[in-house]
Structure 1
Amino acid sequence: MADLKYYDVILAPVITEKSMNAMADKKYTFYVHTDATKTQVKEAVERMFEGTKVAKVNTMNLDGKTRRRGYVTGKTD
């Protein structure tokens, strides 16, 4: 378990058409630190946005895209 402060957990909001449509249902989407747990994400949202109560946290791990630089291949962050 990572020793993260609540302000280090949430990196940025996700700004896409799909996430904007989900906001109508009061569902919000954020990029979060990869080592953060669901409990840490819940606590961070409730502390950063005072007066909010988080009902549920869903997480998803995404691999970076495969890129090539010369003969070296690798994944982006």
Structure 2
Amino acid sequence: MIPENYGHLIVGKSYVVTQEFTDYDGLRHSPGETWTYLGYDSFFYDAGLTLYISPGDSIRLQDADLFQRHIVSRLETYIG
């Protein structure tokens, strides 16, 4: 995990899901879900992005046309 900011996400800051989305693992994240951003990992070989959040969880996304590119490219629309 890289404990650095990613886009508008700042390490240690709390966030709330503002628009529903489904991650790479098929888990639905609904408006009102709250967590603290801890860092990220990028996996360039498969366009993967893992956002580490507390409490002890992660959100996996894939920045590819058939997956979650529309979410990754506009994270601020889904997470505020």
Q: Normalising by structure 2, what TM-score? A: 0.28
Structure having the larger proportion of residues in helix: 1
Q: Which has the higher contact order (CA 8 A, sep 6+)?
A: 2
Structure having the larger proportion of residues in strand: 2
Structure with higher Rg: it is 1
Q: Normalising by structure 1, what TM-score? A: 0.28
